[in-house]
Chain A
Amino acid sequence: MATATTPQDHDAGEALAERIRQASIDGTPLRIVGGDTRFFYGREVKGDELSTREHCGISFYDPVELVVSVRTGTPLAALEAALAEHGQILPFEPPRYGEASTVGGMVASGLSGPRRPWAGAVRDFVLGTRVINHEGIEQRFGGEVMKNVAGYDLSRLMVGAQGTLGLITEVSFKVLPAPGAVQSLHLELPLDEARLRLADWGREPLPISAAAWLDGALHLRLEGGPSSVAATRARIGGDELDNAFWSALRDQHLPFFRAGQAPLWRLSLPHRAPALDLPGIDESLMIHDWAGAQRWLRTELDAEAVRQACQAAGGHATCYGPRPAAIEPFTPLPEVLMKYHRNLKAQLDPKGIFNPGRLYAAF
């Protein structure tokens, strides 16, 4: 078993639990903060700040078991560095929106990077969580094994819930070996042609692990054994592309993300969804990541129109901050679904102390 330590190894669980017990007694809302690098992802929370940063360190890592357990205040960069020492990775390639990005923020936001369509999302690699509940009791769901169906899957429920159901204090992940070979490619292709090729390649067992179309070119990444990567590279052609392109895309460092004042939209769509029915939108000015399943758009168009177009295509749209106050970040839920969201929130956080209003005004 590897002993991995991060410089600030510290278990602040009891102090966090005490804060929550007190907040529960007082009915004080808490605003949970890790590295505060994902402030743009959701509604503003009014509450006392509860920082996870002191709750830091890798509590268990066994590369042979493919399992790592880590406290949620741990910087994401520190976790990935510890894995890299053993040639392993978080396969979902989580974005870092700054050096301060924490494991807790990664799990709470549930955002995944370019490898997501092929490898899976954050939630797919969560094996277990420790969560401090509304009474200030730390509870454990799931565990450190690959298969576990005992009880309801509350661990995965926490992913993307943005801390509204409890404070996640520790997460166990399944990790995987880093691919043996990586090759990124740049192919000048019109968007329509790129879509057709991706659809064809998608039906074959090719070692594609990222595909994004922007600026008139398809950007592809091949990952796998050296033999298959070389063979696929020879077959597909194109020019070599620096692998660093993918972290720039993942972390929103490309010029697209920095230019312009119009609100930034993340469109999550079925990958083969055609061009959206939106007036005045030039699809060639968008980024089509995830082989078309995640598209980035800057527009001043009415939020309702953007959302309707995405819903008509089978997806949804999220508005990243900074955004005008009138635009909700997340797509409103159908009535029945909203009812059960409220019920679940009321059951797991009856006093409404955890990040109230972060996802929706109603809870």
Chain B
Amino acid sequence: MNILYDERLDGPTPELDQAAIRDALLQAIPGMTLLHREEDMRPFECDGLSVYRTLPLLVALPDSMAQVERLLKECHRLGVPVVTRGAGTGLSAGALPLTHGVLLVMSRFSRILEIDAEARIARVEPGVRNLAISEAASPCGLYYAPDPSSQIACSIGGNVAENAGGVHCLKYGLTVHNVIKVEVLTIEGERMTLGSDALDAPGFDLLALFNGSEGMLGVVTEITVKLLPKPEVAKVLMASFDDVEKAGNAVGAIIEAGIIPGGLEMMDKLAIIAAEDFIGAGYPVEAEAILLCELDGVEADVDDDCETVRHVLEKAGATGIQQARDDDERAKFWAGRKNAFPAVGRMSPDYYCMDGTIPRRELARVLKGISELSERYGLKVANVFHAGDGNMHPLILFDANREGELAVAEALGGEILELCVRVGGTITGEHGVGREKINQMCAQFRPDELATFRAAKAAFDPHDLLNPGKNIPTPARCSEFRTIKSAAADTAPGALQG
């Protein structure tokens, strides 16, 4: 099934004349940058999931919130869909433009408005890069905890839209746990404050609802995040295993010992080799799997915990355990993990990153399932895994220039996600549904549950103008998805069972 917007499955699109819309917008918002030529709009045709590309109707680059407000009001009046984009690093085509929609680019809003060390908060514009917040807070001994791998480039507005995670989620939470307040504009151009500078706000928890809503309920114009004191120390243990299942069991054993590591990551053999070739992180290339376990906090506690974890790892059958001697070596250990995606990218012309989350106890079964699927589809899969919180990133290696191989990668990816759902997990832990996983939403939710999602959307955007077609599939799409699935099941009785 096609991922790109399909009128037949995703709903009718308005007939819009580019020149007329452009005139109307420029008249309403004189001075706003509004790109309309193909060559100018080309850089905005995709986000981080670049296999899907669509040229938008227009690209708006406002530089004041007053312009954003007028743009939304005007689009609302004219019935023009709006797709909001931050830094464009998203991996689920959540900011994929629409041929019949304006792309609203928020990247010019990149000011850090306030770092309040005493209140331990930062107030920022949505285009501020994730890492820039921690850098600005660093002189005060504070930092912003969520750290997606794209943190050098991704923007905080996009983080809110996707409820972005990172490698420290088990202990420090996702974006939703670290944002205390957002200012939003509705599609009608009304201003609302969700959350507060206090620890709660009256009424429904709309702040939680907006986190991860993929730009479909409103446009976030300002964000206040919580800052944490930097941990006194962080120490990393790297353990190698001759068997993936043993590594998976070691993860459970660490948590059973009452320890919540700051980060707990696992990589399989293919990912280890790729990272080692690329970065030279000092990974044991002969291992079937490695675990990276970071313990952070007050030094005395961290030392105690390192001892405990070392014993647990030995008992779990680790073939080697190394503790980073200093911060340089710790950074090197992490560099291999944080660069795992580009490292795998060097092994193959293209790779496709999955984002399923599973209960950790199912790890061995799911990895086995992935390896069977990989063989069946004839594409290699490298596994990188936020082991502490069960979030997997299988990377499917393929070559988009080979006829039909993207479609094979998509089909393999879809099956991996459906496997995650079957073992009690989810199709996306932190990257979002976007367009990419729109079909698999039909596997995870029943039609009546999807209808409830649509009802929630209708409360804020009854005419479906904000990022239409993302996140929540239409009944027509799901009905086609189910038809295709049941036809496939009839012809392939040996298909993998959860």
Q: Which residues from chain A sit less than 8 Å from chain B, CB to CB?
A: 1, 62-67, 87, 110, 116-117, 120-121, 123-124, 133, 135, 137, 139-141, 143-154, 156-157, 159-161, 165, 176-178, 180, 199, 202-207, 224-228, 231-232, 268-272, 290, 293-294, 314-316, 318, 330-331, 333-334, 336-337, 339-341, 343-344, 346-348, 359-360
Contacts and interface: CB of A to CB of B under 8 A. Distances in A.
B269 interface: no
A199 B118 contact: yes
Contacts of A315: 196-198
Contacts of B424: 143-145
Interface in B266-308: 297-298, 300-301, 303-305
Contacts of A135: 448
Given A153-B212, A203-B142, A143 B232 contact: no
B391 to A, nearest CB: 5
B297 A228 contact: yes
B260 A176 contact: yes
Interface stretch (B39-47, B53-61, B321-329, B358-366): B358-366
Nearest to B437: A150
B177 A124 contact: yes
Given A145-B425, A159-B205, A202-B229, A154 B456 contact: yes
Given A146-B170, A147-B430, A157-B208, 17 more contacts: A145-B390, A146-B389, A147-B169, A147-B389, A149-B428, A150-B444, A152-B472, A153-B176, A156-B209, A161-B205, A177-B258, A180-B258, A202-B120, A205-B298, A227-B298, A340-B459, A359-B203
Interface stretch (B186-194, B372-380, B489-497): B186-194
A333 B304 CA distance: 49
Interface of B: 117-120, 140-142, 162-163, 165, 169-170, 173-174, 176-177, 186, 190-193, 196-206, 208-209, 211-213, 217, 229-232, 252, 255-256, 258-260, 297-298, 300-301, 303-305, 357-361, 386, 388-391, 424-433, 437, 441, 444-446, 448-450, 452-453, 455-460, 471-472
Contact of A156 (B205, B390, B433, B459): B205
Contacts of A227: 298, 300-301, 303-304
A64 B259 CA distance: 11
Nearest to B424: A144
The 3 closest A-B pairs by CB, nearest first: A225-B301, A227-B300, A147-B429
B301 A224 contact: yes
Nearest to A87: B258
A361 to B, nearest CB: 13
A123 B176 CA distance: 10
A231 B300 contact: yes
Contact of B177 (A110, A120, A268, A347): A120
A337 B256 contact: no
Nearest to A317: B202
Interface majority SS (helix, strand, loop, mixed), chain A: loop
Given A149-B430, A203-B140, A268-B198, A346 B361 contact: no
Contact of B456 (A124, A270, A348): A348
Contacts of A272: 118-119
Contacts, number: 264
Contacts of A150: 426-428, 433, 437, 441, 444-445
Nearest to B209: A157
Contacts of B260: 176-177
Nearest to B303: A227
Contacts of B425: 143, 145
Contacts of B471: 151-152
A150 B169 CA distance: 17
B240 to A, nearest CB: 22
Contact of A140 (B305, B431, B449): B449
Given A120-B173, A124-B177, A314 B198 contact: yes
A62 B361 contact: yes
Contacts of B304: 225-227
A336 to B, nearest CB: 5
B453 to A, nearest CB: 5
A271 B180 CA distance: 13
Contact of A152 (B190, B200, B389, B457): B457
B300 A205 contact: no
A293 B198 contact: yes
B360 A64 contact: yes
A315 B180 CA distance: 12
A205 B361 CA distance: 32
Given A154-B453, A176-B260, A205-B229, A145 B359 contact: yes
Nearest to B425: A145
A346 B259 CA distance: 45
8 contacts: A120-B173, A153-B176, A202-B229, A205-B231, A225-B297, A272-B119, A318-B202, A344-B456
Nearest to B227: A203
Nearest to B120: A202
Contacts of B211: 153
A177 B308 CA distance: 15
Given A225-B305, A272-B119, A315-B198, A139 B452 contact: yes
B391 A146 contact: yes
Contacts of B193: 334, 337
Contacts of B426: 143, 145, 147-150
A157 B274 CA distance: 42
A224 B260 CA distance: 11
Contacts of B298: 205-207, 224-225, 227-228, 231-232
A318 B444 CA distance: 39
Nearest to B297: A205
Given A146-B391, A337-B192, A205 B169 contact: no
